[in-house]
Amino acid sequence: MMPAALPPGAPTDIGAAFARINSVTTPTLDDLKIMVLVEAAGLELYGKLAAGTDNTAVAALLQHNGREEMAHAHRVAKAITALSGEDYPPPSANENPYLTAEIPETPLTVEKLRGLALGEVAGDTLYGTWAANIGNEEAARLFRLNGKEELDHAARLHEAAELLEA
Ligand SMILES: [Fe+2]
Ligand SMILES: [Fe+2]
């Protein structure tokens, strides 16, 4: 499979891509393309997390989040089109340049779930900042929809943590 093209100067690994995205207050088209790749990777990353537990209710919550991350990637791609007319569709896992490194399988812990929930809340804040600064009504609407769902993700992660603790 041909990997999706990384924008010029984009970080080559997903950790650095997250750091770049989190530092941006007014995203450029290249930042938005990186976000498409990071969000699209979320489906696989949540799937890997879900595979780390035999608690089916916990796994279902994580898989729900993962599906919505791919939906977020599609919304960011729509925002790119609204802003520029350019088509930058979210890649599948085996075409995603941020999923070329082996994802280590680590045991699922309550601490990990609570930590990820903090990241999801930060994701809502980030999308809110982008919505306020992007200067395009359609893109702002799409960013706000994503942000609201990042809060849902945090809630599911806390729910999953409570199920693991029970
Ligand atoms: Fe997301
Ligand atoms: Fe999320």
pLDDT of residue 128: 98
Distance 1 CA to ligand 1 centre (A): 24
User: Mean pLDDT across the chain, nearest whole number?
Assistant: 95
Residue 7: how many other CB atoms lie within 10 Å: 16
And the tokens for 156? 């599911």
The mean per-residue pLDDT over the stretch 89-116 comes to: 91
The domains of the chain, with CATH numbers, are 27-165 (1.20.1260.10)
Return the minimum-mean-pLDDT range out of 5-9, 100-104, 150-154: 100-104
- Percent pLDDT > 70 in the chain is 99
Looking at all shown ligands, the one closest to residue 155's CA atom is 2
21-24, Cβ contacts within 8 angstroms, sequence gap of 24 or more: 21/126, 22/122, 22/126, 24/126, 24/130
Q: Among 39, 29, 21, 126, which Cα is nearest to 87's? A: 29
**Residues flanking ion ligand 2, Cβ below 5 Å:** 120, 150, 153
The mean per-residue pLDDT over the stretch 107-121 comes to: 96
Task: Name the pTM for this structure.
Answer: 0.95
Residues 128, 132, 133: CA angle, nearest 5 degrees: 120
Tell me the chain's radius of gyration from C-alpha atoms.
Answer: 16
Give the whole-angstrom CA distance, residue 166 versus residue 160.
10
Distance 22 CA to ligand 2 centre (A): 13
pLDDT at 50 > cutoff 80: yes
CA 143 to chain centre: 12
Helix ranges (DSSP H) in the chain: 14-22, 29-51, 56-84, 110-133, 137-165
Q: Check if the beta carbon of residue 13 is closer than 8 Å to that of residue 97.
A: no
Distance 145 CA to ligand 2 centre (A): 12
Looking at all shown ligands, the one closest to residue 116's CA atom is 2
Q: Check if the beta carbon of residue 122 is closer than 8 Å to that of residue 45.
A: no
And the tokens for 19? 């750091």
Residues 99, 131, 37: CA angle, nearest 5 degrees: 10
pLDDT at 87 > cutoff 70: yes
